[in-house]
Amino acid sequence: MTIETRKLRIIERLLKKTDTDLIDKVESLLNADEKKVSESLKKYSGIWTKEEADEMTEIIADGCESIDHADW
């Protein structure tokens, strides 16, 4: 069974539940998982100077916002 199938089955089961405590626990679990990702990214906060960040923003804009149709 694929992960997508498992998630859909869990969602289907959750939709039938009316226990607010259970729904609160599921929501809390999902929020905690998102918080872990956010916390793990905090260590990178502030490692670039403003100039370095501006340069990286420009590089991304130049390199990612244009399409080279020959690559397709």
Two tokens, residue 47: 């490692």
Q: Kindly state the average pLDDT of the residues 65-72.
A: 72
Alpha carbon distance 52, 44 (integer Å): 13
Alpha carbon distance 52, 54 (integer Å): 5
Q: Is the pLDDT of residue 37 over 70?
A: no
CB atoms within 10 A of CB 26: 13
Q: Kindly state the average pLDDT of the residues 34-61.
A: 81
Question: What pLDDT, on a 0 to 100 scale, did the predictor assign at position 17?
Answer: 94
Q: Kindly state the average pLDDT of the residues 11-23.
A: 94
Q: CB of 37 within 8 A of CB of 31?
A: no
Question: What pLDDT, on a 0 to 100 scale, did the predictor assign at position 67?
Answer: 73
Question: What pLDDT, on a 0 to 100 scale, did the predictor assign at position 46?
Answer: 82
